[in-house]
């Protein structure tokens, strides 16, 4: 994600330089697009950071299963070997 953010900052600096060198509609649009892409990337990064955290507390004589995606649980607590 750092590389993406670095590229977006470079694009923003380049588009600001373009506006200074040649004022107009297209350079202004490039600045707006660069700013919105940088803001979007920051929001997505924050959302992904929040999703990655998992917490679990399990009481005695319980089984805790924690997964990042959908799972199917079969034969929890049985003494059989299940393949």
**pLDDT at position 43, please?**
86
pLDDT score for 26: 94
Per-residue confidence in pLDDT tens, the chain, 83 aa: 688 889 999 999 999 999 999 999 999 999 999 999 999 998 888 777 666 566 667 777 777 766 666 666 666 665 555 45
Q: Write out the DSSP string of 32-63.
A: HHHHHHHHHHHHHHHHHHHHT-------TT--
What tokens appear for 4 in the block? 């993406």
pLDDT at 78: 59
- In Å, how far from its chain's centre is CA 25? 32
**Phi-psi bin for 82: left (phi > 0), alpha (psi -120 to 50), beta?**
beta
SS3 assignment, position 16: helix
């Amino acid at each position: 994600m750092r590389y993406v953010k670095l590229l977006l900052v470079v694009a923003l600096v380049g588009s600001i330089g373009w506006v200074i060198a040649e004022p107009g509609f297209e350079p202004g649009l490039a600045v707006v697009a660069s700013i919105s892409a940088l803001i979007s990337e920051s929001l997505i990064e924050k959302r992904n950071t929040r999703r990655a955290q998992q917490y679990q507390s399990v009481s005695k004589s319980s089984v805790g299963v924690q997964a990042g995606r959908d799972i199917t649980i079969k034969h929890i607590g049985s003494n059989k070997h299940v393949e």
